[in-house]
Amino acid sequence: MSLSFDLNTVWFLLVGVLLTGYAILDGFDLGVGAIHLLAKTDEERRIHINAIGPVWDGNEVWLVTGGGALFAAFPEAYATAFSGFYLAMMLLLVGLIFRAVAIEFRSKQPMKWWRQFWDISFSVSSVLSGLLVGVALGNLVLGVPLGPDFEFAGSFLGLLNPYALLVGLTGLSLFVMHGNIFLVMKTDGALQERLRGWVNRHIILFVAFYAITTAATFGFVPRMLQNLKDNPLGFIVPALAFLAIANIPREIHHGRDFRAFLSSCCAMAGLLGTYGLGVYPNLIVSNPAFENSLNIYNAASSSTTHGIMLVMALLGMPIVIAYTVSIYWIFRGKVQLGAHSY
Amino acid sequence: MDLELLSRIQFGATISFHYLFPPLSIGLGLFLVIMEGTYLRTGNPIYHQMTRFWVKIFGLIFSLGVASGIVMEFQFGMNWSTYSRFVGDVFGSALAAEGIFAFFLESGFLAILLFGWDKVKPRTHFIATVCVALGAHFSAIWIVVANSWQQTPAGHHIVEHLSGPRAEIVDFWQVVFNPSFLDRISHVYMGAWQSAAFLVLSVSAWYLLRNRHVEVAKAGMQIAVFVALFSSVMQLVTGHGSASTIAETQPAKLAAFEGHYHTAPAGLYILGWVDEGQETVTGIQLPGMLSFLVYGDATRSLTGLDAFPKNERPPTNIVFQTYHLMVGVGFLLILISGLGFYSWKRGTLFTNRRLLWVLVFAVLLPQIANQLGWFSAEIGRQPWIVYGLLKTADAVSRSISVGHVAASLVTFGFVYLLLFVLFVYLLNEKIQHGPDQIG
């Protein structure tokens, strides 16, 4: 399949950009949550939460907007995926709800049991959300059974297949590494030293999963390579992802935390870009019965809607990105606990 | 229980829970702009304390709005995927616009609002407050566009697609300014301002009764008594506008509001009970009043439910009751805010303990009216999910089972119950703690 830059492809890219934005931004929130319980004292845990405190709900808007954009641009894919993955979506929602309120509620009361409960909630819900996002991605790579009516024809347990679980764990380990690096960047003193000590372990963990997933994808889903074989130029994307990943331990070694974090962001973008190149132009591959797959053409809304939405995105997103960057700039530097902190 | 009914219960329960919070965020957004603006203009530390206190309350309310809001976006696809396929072209763009133009603004600047006090200059902080308030108001625009299009679809055509017919946009501005949009968004805004005004009145009245934080309470009450009276009176105006539009666009809904079965000049019930079997209403009625309100002519005929086949009529009694209760509560709010304003004029507002006690509990009334209003609007649209185009029964997901929905309904039920208890507990804690001295 050769790339053609019609509106459908533009929207494939834009939905991809929004969801990649979500993965990068909420990815470090989820990662912070996943390693939250490794911090032992109340002050350290407060630092964890306050590191993401000002930004986490803005980060989650990337998911809301990405979901809205998928709904608008490819309603058939949105409808099939959300109803088909019903129980998984419900679990994801429960995870996202608990994570949101755990951050808000935790430091509102001094009781030890109260804080313990919300710390555990924050951590478990972050792990659950991160894992589910990866499992969903794994299933989209592998393909899920769709009927001739393009409705999901599988079962919840079918979604928990070994390959999808592998991608889920890979995603989770990526979030853990990403969140760990973010925390190193936002902390200082003894806590930072401890966090720095964990980074290498988490990098190794992720790289191991990444290698296994890549091998498994080569072996079991050769379809994912077809676009790259047809357009060898596309290999730049996975190559960049690889270089970005390889660069992370180097930057950490030299103590350049911000550059390590940027590399981790680039790695995420590269990996999701590789996914996009692999599945294009399909959105939900049907496996078996490939002819029932939903792609950017049969799942699309009208070109009028694609056009209107493109105008909205071009008007709105540059402003969004400008003030998001400004807000991150205002909250740069190490976390200081103060009167307004969680 | 069937899939449609369970899915409707779940959607109704989750949206009702969610809708406790956005009206407060919208209304408190307005209050924060007024409070912080007054502080910047006058330099009076009372307004500084007040702003900081209400920002904390806002933060708590906002987080519950976010947590319960994301469920809504997912549920269109999860439970109503056939609906989503039908409306995605129109409805999806409104949701995406809400993200791009409202949620990013609101959530982004919330960081500065909550945590930026010492990081930015006071003026920059105020700009952030304005952006959060604008974001909250913008989000209502897009979701009301989407819902109003469901009530009074416009600017679309029906096209055969992959899995059946669907609506596609022809004219974007006709979709946005569909016939019921302006009436409904103004009604929603006034309801939101009422919610926040009565919350500020309630908390301030409580402080005055307990003789705590007296200065902050008095100054807050002064702002709130204006907003409460203005929004309560305007609610009557915008409500009238909505009802008049409905006479043209959704006659079955208006007929259900008043239990108006037979096409003829229509009266207005003060109270009543609908016997759906006998198609009669027992109650106190002002004859010809509804026709008068809609057309300015008490003798003009209004379309009755008899113009619609039985399977295209909304469940009448529940729509009648929720609508009348909403109107009743609305008048009560005008009365209470009018009394508040009158006492303020006479200089007795802060000492009239009986009125202060009324204000403490009146906080529940706008919430009740908002809920009842949405119940009558949404149930009044039945059996249609998109009026005249798609029936609710045909909108439910095809790939889910009763077991799925039962599981999620029970799960959401437990989670929301927990959240509600915690919300009330923490809100109460914050109120009891009160504004901090700033020194």
Cα–Cα dist A307/A303, whole Å? 6
CB contact under 8 A, B74 and A89: yes
Task: Pick B81's closest partner by Cβ from A79, A320, A323.
Answer: A79
CA distance to partner chain B, nearest, from residue A340 (Å): 6
CB contact under 8 A, B74 and A82: yes
One DSSP character per residue, B134-154 reads HHHHHHHHHHHHHHHHHHS--
Phi-psi region of A150 (alpha: psi -120 to 50; beta: other; left: phi over 0): left
Residue A209 is encoded by which pair of tokens? 């999963």
B431 touches chain A (CB under 8 A): no
Residue-level pLDDT at A97 = 93
CB contact under 8 A, A341 and B74: no
Residue-level pLDDT at A113 = 92
CB contact under 8 A, A83 and B99: no
Task: Pick B95's closest partner by Cβ from A68, A86, A316.
Answer: A68
Contacts of A76 in chain B (CB under 8 A): 85, 88, 161-163
B417 touches chain A (CB under 8 A): no
Which H/E stretch holds residue B385?
strand B384-386
- Grade residue B351 by pLDDT with cuts at 50, 70 and 90: very high
Read off the pLDDT of residues B356-407 as tens digits, 9 standing for 90 and up.
Answer: 999 999 999 999 999 999 999 999 999 999 999 999 999 999 999 999 999 9
Residue A250 is encoded by which pair of tokens? 């180097």
Cα–Cα dist A103/A93, whole Å? 16
- In sequence order, which residues have a C-beta less than 8 Å from that of residue A89 and are 6 or more positions away? A82, B74, B77, B78
Select from B392, B417, B428, B340 the least CA-distant residue to B6: B392
B433 touches chain A (CB under 8 A): no
Q: Identify the residue among B81, B156, B430 best suited for mutation to test binding to A, counting A beta carbons within 10 A and taking the highest.
A: B81
B427 touches chain A (CB under 8 A): no
Long-range CB contacts for residues B385-391, cutoff 8 Å, separation at least 24: B385/B80, B385/B83, B385/B150, B386/B83, B386/B86, B386/B87, B386/B149, B386/B150, B386/B153, B386/B167, B387/B150, B387/B151, B387/B152, B387/B153, B387/B249, B387/B250, B388/B153, B389/B86, B389/B153, B389/B158, B389/B167, B390/B83, B390/B86, B390/B87
Long-range CB contacts for residues B315-319, cutoff 8 Å, separation at least 24: B315/B256, B315/B276, B315/B379, B315/B382, B316/B256, B316/B259, B316/B274, B316/B276, B317/B259, B317/B273, B317/B274, B317/B275, B317/B276, B318/B375, B318/B379, B319/B253, B319/B256, B319/B257, B319/B376, B319/B379, B319/B380
Task: Pick A323's closest partner by Cβ from B84, B99, B108.
Answer: B108
Segment B77-91 mean pLDDT: 94
Contacts of A96 in chain B (CB under 8 A): 67, 70
Residue-level pLDDT at A284 = 95
CB contact under 8 A, B400 and A83: yes
CB contact under 8 A, A308 and B101: no
Q: Identify the residue among A98, A101, A124, A304 best suited for mutation to test binding to B, counting B beta carbons within 10 A and taking the highest.
A: A101
CA distance to partner chain B, nearest, from residue A14 (Å): 12
Cα–Cα dist A7/A309, whole Å? 10
For the cut 70, the answer to whether the pLDDT of residue B1 exceeds it is no
Read off the pLDDT of residues B9-63 as tens digits, 9 standing for 90 and up.
Answer: 999 999 999 999 999 999 999 999 999 999 999 999 999 999 999 999 999 999 9
For the cut 80, the answer to whether the pLDDT of residue B145 exceeds it is yes
Residue-level pLDDT at A206 = 95
Domain range summary for chain B, segments of one domain joined by +: 1-180+405-433, 196-249+251-380
Q: Identify the residue among A61, A76, A303 best suited for mutation to test binding to B, counting B beta carbons within 10 A and taking the highest.
A: A61
Which residue is closest to B420 within chain A, CA to CA?
A101
Contacts of A65 in chain B (CB under 8 A): 96, 99-100, 103-104
- pTM for the model: 0.93
- In sequence order, which residues have a C-beta less than 8 Å from that of residue A97 and are 6 or more positions away? A125, B67, B68, B70, B71, B415, B419
CB contact under 8 A, A330 and B119: yes
Diameter over CA atoms, chain B: 69
Cα–Cα dist A40/B353, whole Å? 50
Contacts of A317 in chain B (CB under 8 A): 100
Angle at B296 between CA B295 and CA B298, to 5 degrees: 90
- Grade residue B328 by pLDDT with cuts at 50, 70 and 90: very high
B160 touches chain A (CB under 8 A): no
| Contacts A–B by Cβ distance under 8 A | 234
Which residue is closest to B433 within chain A, CA to CA?
A108
Segment B102-114 mean pLDDT: 92
Read off the pLDDT of residues B278-307 as tens digits, 9 standing for 90 and up.
Answer: 888 888 889 888 888 888 888 898 899 999
Task: Pick B404's closest partner by Cβ from A65, A87, A299.
Answer: A87
Are the beta carbons of B3 and B79 closer than 8 angstroms? no
B353, exposed or middle or buried, with CB in 10 Å at 0-12, 13-18, 19+?
exposed
Q: What's chain A's Rg over C-alpha atoms?
A: 20
Contacts of B400 in chain A (CB under 8 A): 83, 86
CA distance to partner chain A, nearest, from residue B266 (Å): 42
Place of tokens 């596309």: A234
Q: Identify the residue among B3, B7, B11, B399 best suited for mutation to test binding to A, counting A beta carbons within 10 A and taking the highest.
A: B399
3-state secondary structure of B275: strand
Residue-level pLDDT at B226 = 96
Residue-level pLDDT at A339 = 76
Contacts of B438 in chain A (CB under 8 A): none
CB contact under 8 A, A302 and B77: no
CB contact under 8 A, B104 and A67: no
CA distance to partner chain A, nearest, from residue B150 (Å): 16
- Strand stretches in B171-267, DSSP E: 264-265
Contacts of B63 in chain A (CB under 8 A): 57, 100-101, 103-104
Place of tokens 């331990």: A249
Angle at A174 between CA A169 and CA A175, to 5 degrees: 100
B386 DSSP β-pair partners: B390
Are the beta carbons of A103 and A122 closer than 8 angstroms? yes
Residue B227 is encoded by which pair of tokens? 């907003």
Tens of each residue's pLDDT in chain A, 342 residues: 445 579 999 999 999 999 999 999 999 999 999 999 998 888 889 999 999 988 988 898 999 999 999 999 999 999 999 999 999 999 999 999 999 999 988 888 888 899 999 999 999 999 999 999 999 999 999 999 999 999 999 988 999 999 999 999 999 999 999 999 999 999 988 889 999 989 999 999 999 999 999 999 999 999 999 998 999 999 999 999 999 999 999 999 998 999 999 999 999 999 999 999 999 999 999 988 999 999 999 999 999 999 999 999 999 999 999 999 999 999 888 888 887 788
Are the beta carbons of B206 and B216 closer than 8 angstroms? no
